[in-house]
Every structure is written in C-alpha cells, then in structure tokens.
Structure 1
C-alpha cells in the first residue's frame, strides 16, 4: 500500500473522508507529512460502522488536538481518525456529582465545565494542552493530579467496530500509561467530581494557569513535555545537567525557559525535532546513566534516508 492509493467503501458512512490530508497545520509543532486518509466520523455509530467495514490490514491511527504529537515528515500511511467537536464534544452533568464528556473536548474545557457545575478535582486539566482522548490514553496529569484519580468509566470502539465500556480498574492506569488495548478509540468518559465552592475551584485553576505562564513556553510551537520523568528524577533537571538547555538541531531547539520542551523556532522539520530529542537522550544517558523515555507520541514514517536512531545508536 502506497500513500494516496487507498480505496475505501464509503456507502452509509456519514463522516468526512479526506485523502492526503495535511497534518502539520493541526499539530502544535506545525511539522510533518500528510495522512494518507483522514476520517472524521459523525458520531460513535458512524465510527463503529467505518471500522467494521475497514479491511483489517489497513493501519489506523488516532490524532486529537495535536499537542503531544510529532508526525514524521513522510506522513502517516493508512487511516488517521480525528474526532470532531460536533460529534464528540458533548458535556453533561450526571447524578452523584459525575460528568460525562466527549473525547474530542480539550482538557481545559472540561476543567471549565466542572467549575461551572461547582465540581472540584479537575483543576489539573486546566493546565494540560490536550484533549480528553489523549488524556485517557496517557493518563494525563499535571500539578499533582492525574486522570486516573477522577475517571469512573470509558466508552470506546475497537478496531473491529465493537463498542466497549471499561471501568477505571480495567484501564490499568500507571504513570503516563494505560494498559487498555492499543486499538481502542475512546469516544467519551465519565468522571467523578466533588462539590466545592466555585471560588475555591477558581483559585485552584488560577494557580495552575499561573504556573504554566511562569514556567512553560506556552506561546511557542511546542509539543508539551517531551520526556517522561524517570523514577526519582525530573526529566528537565537531567536535560539541564547534560548541558542541553538551548541546544539546537536545524530549526529545532530545547527551550531556554523549560528544557523538557522542544520548540520549532520557525523552519524545523519533524526530523530536526526527533534528532534533537535523541541527541538529548544520548547526552543524558552519557552524563547520568538514565535512559529518558519519550512522552511525546511520534507517528508515521520518515522521508527516505531520514531515519533517526534511538539514543543516536548508542
């Protein structure tokens, strides 16, 4: 299967299908090649039907708001699925101080909805520049809070088009990880809140916002935290100690403000960013013996000759 040659049976499909969809404009790094096919389902049933009909040999990837993502320069073969706000952006308060939200919602919007409802426990989402689908997949967290602390259950569609529901325990959460099957596409989630005065919730959200403004390069073309914090360490401290603050490869740079962030200074390629990341990993390994793991998800194929070896082959 080559890029651009994929033919699909679309009878009865209500969502939008686009071939050779440019992904760079919808990722925060603003780099990367096209999706061979982009599918934006109308709703959960449309997604299930599409996956049921899609031949099993065709690969499927999910892209959310593009904040914690590096798409390689050769693009993504097969089908990329992106949930729309129209079909997957619902919010609803349930009995028992719970909320049900669609997987396409930005984390920050869920924090705002919980605030409007007088429900505490979601202020950490105010500081995460991602979507709920990604938060579920990565157990997203910040400022002392994590997704697993609030999640009750998840609805998802598997690669065969079957709708499934998973409890918090069945998600198998750990640090920035879930054991849920890789082929599951999360469509909505139910969370547990705690009643609290709105001024208390607002204060917690403001503290999160203040921290982000002060410590993170939020106005740059960046993908968020690049590396996971190793046990007993802070990734940024290891990167700093390795002398990588401000390090450049082509148009990519380690942030001067927070050196666990990579920045596209304007003309970077995905290759530049990935090579910079692996250069940092190699230097941290050499100076501290710690093997940093990527937190940013790298998807797709490099251009011919553009492969980047982990730890620069070390």
Structure 2
C-alpha cells in the first residue's frame, strides 16, 4: 500500500500529506546488510528537504521515528519497526567538491564522498572509504576508521526539524565515541567536511590500502553488520571473543565469523532473533572467561515477535 499527496491512515497512526512516497508494511530486510528483520509500519521517502520538514512538522506527537541509512550496522528485529521509518533518497545524495572541502548530502555513501575528494585532489577524507555507510549516519554516530573520525573533519551539518532547516557547527554536536548530540527529532540532511589539497595518486593509494586492509581482515563480502561490540578500554573485542572460544560459534543461521570474530554473520536463513541471541551468548561467555562485559556497537531496533517463534536453537 502506498499513498501520495493525501492524509494516509492505517491502524492507529496517520501520516501527513507529502510529495514523496509513503508505503505501509514495507519489508525492511532487503535494506539491511544482515538481510533480516520485519517490516516498517510506514516507510516514508520524502521528495526533498522541504518535504521532509513538512513531514516532521505534521507528525502526531509521540510517533516513533527511525532514520534508516545504509543499515550497515543495524539489526532490525523480526517484529519490525513501529511508526515512521525514514529513508532519504536521491535528492539527498548530491556531493560537491570545494577548494578546501566536500559538501555531501546525507544519502551519499561514505565511499562515494571519499572518491569525490580523491578525484578533486583533496586529502584527509580517505578514511571514509573504509566505512560502509552513508553520510547522515556517519555524522549521527561520529563514524570512524583507520585513525580518524567524523569529528576530526566536520565543519557543519544541516538538519531538518519540525521548525525548518538548521545548520549546526561541529563544535555544538558534542561528539563522543560513535555518538553526536543532535537535537531531538532532528534528521541530518547535509554536511561539510574539511579537506586539504593533496597529490591525487597518493590519495588514491591510501584508499586502495584501506580497501585491501578491510578485505584482508574482515568478512566484507558476507551478510554482516560490521564490528559487533565496542573495544573495551585497553583491549580488543575480537581477542576477548576468541579467547572465550567463540570463533565460529553458531545459533541457527547466525554465526561468529571465522575470519574476524567481532563480526556476526547471516550464514544462511538467519533471523534477527538468532543474531541477537548469538551476540548475547558471546557476551555471556566473554564475561565468564574474562570478567569484561562487552557493549554492543551494532544497533538493535524494533520489536521481537511475540511468540518467540523466530528464536534460535542451542549454540554449536
């Protein structure tokens, strides 16, 4: 079911009229890297920034709102997501090179931004080529890799709110590890990143080095969600998981990667419940073995199925 240009009602909620696409009960698993999860109550794709502001301004108070980017670090539970699931499309994907930086829309992939910078002879953004996500998510979670984080290069971010578009300097975003202090209900729509003139060949070589390092050490071609747990102070999550005997551990179709054991895999037919149960089993075994309680880095959102029918069996 979809609707354009009219008040759309379904179940207990109503969606404001927008020019973009509104779809009820939309499957979300195809959007996620794990390829698991239930449907969105409403999947909404605004036509542009003005349309997004109209949506936010017209939403009934208390309506759940989830912004779905590249969904590379996300488990959507099998019961799906209530309320609005927001997905930004092509109108939010423009990338422009400036003499000392890059301006990118929230839907642009991190890799694409790194490639634009390299083509323009701009250095300092190569690390983005090692982050499998989109710019909106990168800003919202202060994404980082290979020694750099978004907070190190961000000049400003533009966000949509119910009151309009605001431009926020990086200094007010209160960046911490994998987190930015965005205003409540705000959606990142565009950002500017500082860069410096560099030798295009050297920039391209650094990006190739990052890609090679990822492919050598991580299961990048598998159905995965990136690093599962935060590295504890002074330690590495993968080493703790390995020491607890969890490399290759499986529940149903979910498995701990043999290649890098801080990665969970959908090895075939896994459910979200199996992936989450496997993660909790890993946490439990690491806690018993080392006394360290690993913290989830992958986000887990949505509702479990009420009868638990999608749960996994015993760990193997």
Normalised by the shorter chain, which TM-score bucket?
A: over 0.9
Structure 1 spans left out of the alignment, 5+ residues: 309-314
Q: Distance in 1 between matches of 2:229 and 2:248?
A: 16
Question: Is the counterpart of residue 205 in structure 1 residue 210 in structure 2?
Answer: no
Q: Deviations over 1:206-225 (max 9, x none)?
A: 11011011001011110111
Picking from 34, 49, 54, the partner of 1:49 is 54
Contact (CA 8 Å) 1:4, 1:20: kept in 2 or not? no
Q: Say which of 245, 258, 261 aligns to 1:259.
A: 261
The answer for the alignment partner of 2:6 in structure 1 is: none
Q: Tell me the equivalent position of 1:165.
A: 167
Q: Once the two structures are superposed, what CA deviation does each residue of 1:211-242 show, in whole Å capped at 9, x if it has no partner? A: 01100101111011111111111111111111
Q: Is 1:108–2:111 an aligned residue pair?
A: yes
Instruction: Name the counterpart of 1:134.
Output: 137
Q: Deviations 1:265-312 (Å, cap 9, x if unpaired)?
A: 11100000000011111111111121111111111100014399xxxx
What is residue 250 of structure 2 aligned with on the other side?
248
Does the 8 Å contact 2:13/2:83 carry over to 1?
Answer: no
Q: Quick check: 2:102–2:113 contact (8 Å CA) kept in 1?
A: no
Please say if 1:149 is aligned against 2:155: no
What CA deviation, in whole Å up to 9, does each residue of 1:21-72 have, x standing for no partner? 0000111100000000000011111100011011012111111111111000
Q: Counterpart of 1:187 in 2: which secondary structure? A: strand
Q: CA deviation at 1:4?
A: 5.4
Q: Equivalent residue of 1:178, what SS?
A: coil
- 1:122 is aligned to 2:158: no
Distance 2:247 2:148 in 1: 27
4+ residue stretches of structure 1 with deviation over 3 A? 305-308
Q: Is the Cα contact below 8 Å between 1:49 and 1:161 reproduced in 2? A: no
1-structure distance, mates of 2:102, 2:123: 11
Report deviation, 1:73.
0.3
Aligned 1:30-69 pairs, distance under 5 A: 30-69=35-74
C-alpha change, 1:305 and 1:232, in structure 2 (3 Å) is farther
2:25 corresponds to which of 13, 17, 20: 20
Would you say 1:235 and 2:232 are equivalent positions? no
Contact 1:6 1:36 in 2 (8 A): no
Distance 1:136 1:281 in 2: 28
Counterpart-to-counterpart distance in 1, 2:249 and 2:129? 30
The answer for unaligned runs of 5 or more in structure 2 is 1-8, 311-316
Change (3 A) 1:9 1:27: closer
State whether structure 2 residue 83 is matched by structure 1 residue 90. no
State yes or no: 1:192 paired with 2:197.
no
